[in-house]
Amino acid sequence: MSSHRSHINWQHKPHSSETRSYSPDHLATLAGGQHVHLSSSPGFKGNPDCADPEQLLVTALASCHMLFFLAIAELKGYRVEQYQDDPVGHLEKDAAGRMALTRIELHPEVHFGDGKRPDADALDALHAAAHQRCFIAHSITARITIHPAAP
């Protein structure tokens, strides 16, 4: 199959506003050399100018769903001109009382080009097929719902 790697680097420095604590800011370097500045979420004393791990998981799910959607739509003869999404992950207590991303909502809006266009049922079927194939969706326990915009 395949392996997927990154590198995380954190070095001690004082927190910007918590004088008795450390900064949670760190750097991820992805296999392609891209750098992502990370921190904990602002609700957990993190830097709002950085991405947080929860955002990255929500983004990974939305990206995976989109990539499968595009591939399936093309196979079905639909030309997608634009795809955008505003995914939302909900950090809540799970059944065991632990904090977890328990729910993730995708809100894809797809614009199709000239030619064949799916009706509402066909669009739902495309999203269902993408969800069934998404590697990230298979990898997490959060309840995932898809709320596509009307075609």
Tens-digit pLDDT profile for residues 42-82: 999 999 999 999 999 999 999 999 999 999 999 999 999 99
What local confidence, expressed as pLDDT, does residue 114 receive?
86
DSSP per-residue codes, 112-140: E-SS----HHHHHHHHHHHHHH-HHHHH-
| β-bridge pairing 99-106 and 143-146 | parallel
Q: Can you tell me the distance from the alpha carbon of 108 to that of 124, in angstroms, rounded to the nearest whole number?
A: 11
Domain annotation for the chain: domains and CATH numbers: 6-44 (no CATH), 53-146 (3.30.300.20)
